[in-house]
Amino acid sequence: MSPGKSHVIPLLLPKASAPTPKRTHGPAGSPSPRMTPQGPGSKKRSRRHQRFMERRALLEQRGLLRPRRRLGTQGPPGGLSSVTPRGWKAPKLGDGIAGRCSGTAAGNSITGVQPCLPRPNKYVAIDCEMVGTGPRGRQSELARCSVVSYDGDVIYDKYVLPLLPVVDFRTRWSGITRRHMESAIPFRTAQEEILKILKDKIVVGHAIHNDFQALKYFHPKERTRDTSRIPLLNQRAGLPAGANASLKSLARHLLQKKIQVGCKGHSSVEDARTAMELYRLVEVPWEEELARSQPPRPPSPTDPSSDSHQYMDDQYWPQDLMVGTL
């Protein structure tokens, strides 16, 4: 050891142990949130999931997505969604239908739940009045068309000018006179207006094939309800099941109302309303019978009751909705 220098003996200290994080109170065996490792992309994924859930909640409020059923919870009775689509009013008790869904034993044999009936705004009733054109007036052409809603409100009622000159106005049955043709609109214009109303609707009528023929139109069979071909109505009226009963006869027996009386002809508005009233008398059992006889159809992408997950994409979101969710 050289003079002037002191010998320093290093002290060996124990290594400091890392502080033990405090464990928050929680269920035994479950890791504390403070001890969960945070990866570099976990915050981004969390924000993305939160954004997704906010969008889903907004869509559920607007009736575009069906609310998810959590485990351990029981859904609403009858298979109804807890979110009611905007613009739909629940049917009143006593108006002929206790609800748009039926829980009878005639429903699905597997689930025991009867599918919901379409909303009332999906139904319309139609009736047309024809005049005679062509040789001796034997050809029938449209001269008036009326369309009413499920509740009987008039949606459309106009006089129509036939393509050919009128030979026989058939006023005794049609109620059409030469004076009505002065304010009539061209057939092509009326046809375009009427078909826009009938599109994607369930159309009710009596001997409705005659109305479609006058409109030069074919409506899908599964969306057509002809009250002249419902055995349930004949049975209620005490008529043979296969009888081709007239609208006037069914209205007298089942509705206790008189229609098509007098010599001034028929009223297409009155006939359309009567057909809708007759349909509503047997709506639930008839739709159940049709559901059993027809194969199930896939839900429409525009149907609010279906889970349309494509709406979660950014391209379907307007700017006014994006502001509140981002």
96-100, 154-158, 197-201, 229-233: segment of lowest average pLDDT: 96-100
pLDDT at 63: 67
pLDDT tens per residue, range 3-21: 444 454 444 545 555 555 5
Structure tokens at 16: 């400091």
Which residues face 139 on adjacent strands?
Answer: 133
pLDDT tens per residue, range 237-294: 888 877 888 999 999 999 999 898 877 778 999 999 999 999 999 999 999 988 888 7
3 in helix, strand or coil? coil
- Angle, alpha carbons 252-255-261 (nearest 5°): 40
Q: How far apart are CA 76 and CA 84, in angstroms?
A: 12
Q: Which residues contact 17 (CB under 8 A, 6 or more apart)?
A: none
Integer CA distances (angstroms), 34 to 37, 43, 264, 299, in order: 8, 14, 86, 46
Structure tokens at 272: 């359309």
- pLDDT band, residue 297 (cuts 50/70/90): low
311 alpha carbon, distance to own chain's centre:
18
pLDDT tens per residue, range 267-277: 999 999 999 99
pLDDT at 97: 43
DSSP per-residue codes, 56-120: HHHHHHTTSSPPPPPTT--PPGGG--SSPPTT--PPPTTSS-S-SS---TTS-TTT--PPPPPPG
Q: Which residues contact 278 (CB under 8 A, 6 or more apart)?
A: 206, 227, 230, 233, 247, 250, 251, 254, 255
Instruction: Find out whether 237 and 245 touch, Cβ atoms under 8 Å.
Output: yes
The 8-class DSSP code of residue 170 comes to: -
Phi and psi for 213 in degrees, rounded to 5? -65, -40
Q: Is 42's pLDDT higher than 90?
A: no
Q: Which residues contact 93 (CB under 8 A, 6 or more apart)?
A: none
Share of the chain above pLDDT 70, in %: 59
Q: Euclidean distance between the first and final Cα of the chain, in Å?
A: 74
Structure tokens at 59: 């869509």
Q: Which residues contact 99 (CB under 8 A, 6 or more apart)?
A: 78, 90, 91
pLDDT tens per residue, range 115-145: 567 788 899 999 999 999 999 999 999 999 9
Q: How far apart are CA 162 and CA 216, in angstroms?
A: 12
What's the whole-number average pLDDT of the chain?
Answer: 74
pLDDT tens per residue, range 47-73: 778 878 887 887 777 766 666 655 444
- Mean pLDDT over residues 29-42, rounded? 52
Q: How far apart are CA 52 and CA 325, in angstroms?
A: 9
Instruction: Record the pTM.
Output: 0.58
- pLDDT band, residue 304 (cuts 50/70/90): very low
Integer CA distances (angstroms), 75 to 101, 112, 289, in order: 14, 14, 26
